[in-house]
Amino acid sequence: MTVSAEMAELLGGNGGIAQGSPDVNRAMCPSRGILEHVTSRWAVLVLAALLARTYRFSELRRTVGGVSEKMLAQTLQTLERDGFVLREAKAVVPPHVEYSLTASGREAAQQVFDLARWSERQVSGVEEARAAYDERRRDRESPSGV
């Protein structure tokens, strides 16, 4: 039994998992690529931003702080190829391109948006845990702690 099947069983059913169906825990499962695309550093932020509204490229770049033009373009292309983002070029001068979410993009965006908001709420606790961990490591590695 796969880990996903075991989890589904623990949660009260097979959850639609059939023998031979996608299982993210299998090394060659195509769902891993999808997971990688929607959970990449920039994809999470792009999807979360697009959850709010449609953006032009330059607006999206300003909204997603720190992303380079190249990385934003690559991220949008990947998400468009996977069917999560819709790119609409308007026939006007100057050229006008808008990005929005597809139905599956909206579903993915909601998932990563929730994860992003959860991570924001964890900052204080994680910083405290890191400081405590670092202190324990220093104590073990110091000559007096050996």
Average of per-residue pLDDT across 28-37: 90
What confidence tens digit (pLDDT) does each residue in 88-118 have? 998 888 888 999 999 999 999 999 999 999 9
Better pLDDT: 136 or 144:
136
For the sheet with 96-101, list strands across it: 55-56, 96-101, 85-90
For helices 31-38 and 69-81, the axis angle rounded to 10 degrees is 140
| pLDDT above 50 (res 10) | no
Query: Per CATH, is 40-145 categorized as 3.30.70.1380?
Result: no
Phi, psi for 100 (deg, rounded to 5)? -145, 175
Cβ neighbours for 26, distance < 8 A, ≥ 6 positions apart: 2
Residue-range domain boundaries for the chain? 1-38, 40-145
User: Would the pTM of this model clear 0.95, i.e. be above it?
Assistant: no
Dihedral of the CA atoms 38, 43, 46, 49 (nearest 10)? 50
What confidence tens digit (pLDDT) does each residue in 113-139 have? 999 999 999 999 999 999 999 999 998
Token pair 């702690």 in the structure block, residue: 145
